[in-house]
Structure 1
Amino acid sequence: MCLSSAGAAYFTDVSPNAWYYDAVTECSDYGLLNGYQNGTFRPNATITRAECAALLDRMVDPDEPLGSEIGYQDVSQMDWYYMATTGGGQLLGGVKVTYTNKSPVGYYAWFYPKKACTREDFAYGLGCVLYDLEDEGGSGFNDYQQINPQYRDTIMKLRHNGIINGDGVGRYGYFHPKKTITRAEVAQILCNLIEVAEN
């Protein structure tokens, strides 16, 4: 995983009083999340799967290839996120593969780049980037059973290291795995990750 400070940026729609101000600022300092050309960050907007793929791609060590590149039926070489999806996109959950038909380069796959990313798909992708993170053990979530069974171990690894947390409701908090994730929520998760990486 690659994390390095890139210098602060300031956003017109991120108030110093907002709960996510520190997280957004720190993620911007590290160059993990960028704003838009008009100077906004759009903290409450959902983040697309293409944007998540680009984020994960920036975090992957270039000296440690992810494996063979994957081509998706719904991603064109002309799309700005093409390289990110062929790289970091294969870490993100939510990809659909049709095993009944095969193309010259493998089975047909769809990435759904413009769809809003779910909390579990992003968490799973982030956990795949942090493949060498040890599971410290601990509590789960009240809605643990709603998490995709293929993602559970990876997501619990993040939970037990304090990188993702529940909403504070009930005994363990709810993760809301199927809900879409906002840019501010992604910033907070990444801020938690930076704290873990620096300790």
Structure 2
Amino acid sequence: MRMYKKISIGLILCAVLLPNIASAAAYSDITGHSDEKYVVGYSDLGLVSGYPDGTFRPDATLTRAEATVLFGKLNLPAINGKQADFRDIAKTDWFYDSVDTAVKSGLVSGYEDHTFRPQKTITRFEAISMVSKLVKSEKQNTVQLPYGDRDSIPSWVNGAVRNLYAAGVIDTYSGNRIAGNTPVTRSEMVKMLYKVLESYQFQLTGLSQAVKSTGTTGTTAVQLPHDILGYLTIERIGIKKYPVKDGADLATIKTAIGHFAESALWDGNVAFCAHNRDYKYDFRNLKNIKKGDKVIYETRFGTRTYTVSVIKAINETDWTDITTSDERNKLTMVTCIENEPTKRLLVQAVQQQ
């Protein structure tokens, strides 16, 4: 999984050519794959994406850093006061925030030498250990494991294997062996996470409200193409059902409103960007917005209405309003300001209660 460091809003919005980050889900290499439905289903939730060449690479391995980024999409709550204080990662690393969240939520820890080893390939046992912390089965102590190599499962992960097998999250593998020291693949990890989301008969122990809300009532969920996160409407300024895609690179915002990967998908601060002219789905009329205007966002999770509360100019490198959030659900929109190359227009709306 290729990821990129945060880049300045100026580069994102002002037609400078950027690396083309992974697109969402029209993959060219998963048709007929044994995990196809799980990859497509998880992509439909906006929780994983592929590569710029249109592939997903389901059989590629994952590093520890890449695995924690997958979990970071779930916005897991902190359960301790720990920090990602490892001597081999820095706060400027593209994966740091995800590692820090995973540490705080109790999903991962480092090694005895105070390293995290972000580029180390993650094994099936390590992946199972992480995923097991999201779901709990009451049958884990009585289940009979079918694996021919079950007697070689280490004690530190035995309970996790039993838990996920009893929960229906993992099943048999090739040759009826769990082969837990084998590197886990991208599709295997996605399959486990997708099955956790399906296992509502078991106790979910930390999934974000954004994921849980797929089954809530009171909001209207929308059926969407694989590569669309949602539709944005601001009637008063002529924005009607503009498609939103994941990514803030030039290729994405030529065809849709871009979603900042650093921001929330549903609960919390959802942040968008777009050009201020020249494209079918741009923010050319955002300069005409007023406080009190209604903003509607339709997604697979439901439909929300927000009220504009903040309109201001910000510096092109100021990420504060995009990367921070409070207990309110907010929607943040950013675009260029004509003839002011170092400034951006930021509009923020708060969910109506």
Instruction: Supply the AA of the counterpart residue of 1:178.
Output: N
Following superposition, the deviation at residue 57 of structure 1 comes to 2.6
Instruction: Work out whether 1:77 is the aligned partner of 2:82.
Output: no
Report the counterpart of residue 4 of structure 1 in structure 2: none
Aligned partner of residue 199 in structure 2, secondary structure: helix
CA 24–156 in structure 1, closer or farther in 2 if over 3 Å, else same: same
Instruction: Work out whether 1:9 is the aligned partner of 2:25.
Output: yes
Report the counterpart of residue 52 of structure 1 in structure 2: 67
* C-alpha contact 1:76 1:82 (8 A) present in aligned 2: yes
For 1:111 and 1:148, the matched residues in 2 are separated by: 21
Q: Choose from 143, 158, 168 the match for 1:138.
A: 143
CA 43–120 in structure 1, closer or farther in 2 if over 3 Å, else same: same
Instruction: Work out whether 1:174 is the aligned partner of 2:182.
Output: no
Report the counterpart of residue 183 of structure 1 in structure 2: 186
* C-alpha contact 1:56 1:129 (8 A) present in aligned 2: no
The TM-score normalised by the length of structure 1 is 0.77
Which aligned pairs between 1:86-101 and structure 2 lie closer than 5 A?
Answer: 86-89=100-103, 91-92=107-108, 95-98=110-113
Instruction: Work out whether 1:151 is the aligned partner of 2:157.
Output: yes
Report the counterpart of residue 105 of structure 1 in structure 2: none
* C-alpha contact 2:137 2:163 (8 A) present in aligned 1: yes
Aligned partner of residue 163 in structure 1, secondary structure: coil
Q: If each structure's helix is expressed as a fraction of its own residues, which one has the higher value? A: 1
Residue-by-residue CA offset, 1:176-195 (whole Å, 9 max, x unaligned): 11110111111222232232
Instruction: Supply the AA of the counterpart residue of 1:37.
Output: P
The TM-score normalised by the length of structure 2 is 0.45
Following superposition, the deviation at residue 83 of structure 1 comes to 1.0
Q: Choose from 128, 140, 151 the match for 1:123.
A: 128
Following superposition, the deviation at residue 12 of structure 1 comes to 2.2
For 2:34 and 2:168, the matched residues in 1 are separated by: 18
Residue-by-residue CA offset, 1:37-76 (whole Å, 9 max, x unaligned): 33221111101111111122333533x4344113111111
Aligned partner of residue 30 in structure 2, secondary structure: coil
Aligned partner of residue 112 in structure 2, secondary structure: strand
For 2:86 and 2:154, the matched residues in 1 are separated by: 22
CA 78–97 in structure 1, closer or farther in 2 if over 3 Å, else same: same
For 2:33 and 2:82, the matched residues in 1 are separated by: 41
Report the counterpart of residue 104 of structure 1 in structure 2: none
* C-alpha contact 1:46 1:116 (8 A) present in aligned 2: yes
* C-alpha contact 2:134 2:196 (8 A) present in aligned 1: no
Highest RCO, 1 vs 2 (Cα 8 Å, sep ≥ 6): 1
Aligned partner of residue 166 in structure 1, secondary structure: coil
Following superposition, the deviation at residue 198 of structure 1 comes to 7.3
Q: Choose from 6, 18, 25 the match for 2:40.
A: 25
For 1:129 and 1:69, the matched residues in 2 are separated by: 20
* C-alpha contact 2:61 2:184 (8 A) present in aligned 1: yes
Aligned Cα RMSD in Å? Answer: 2.3
Unpaired runs of 5+ residues, structure 1, are 1-7, 99-108
Q: Choose from 156, 162, 168 the match for 1:162.
A: 168
Identity percentage of aligned residues: 25
How many residues align? The count is: 174
Instruction: Supply the AA of the counterpart residue of 1:48.
Output: T
Unpaired runs of 5+ residues, structure 2, are 1-23, 203-353
Q: If each structure's strand is expressed as a fraction of its own residues, which one has the higher value? A: 2
* C-alpha contact 1:27 1:33 (8 A) present in aligned 2: yes
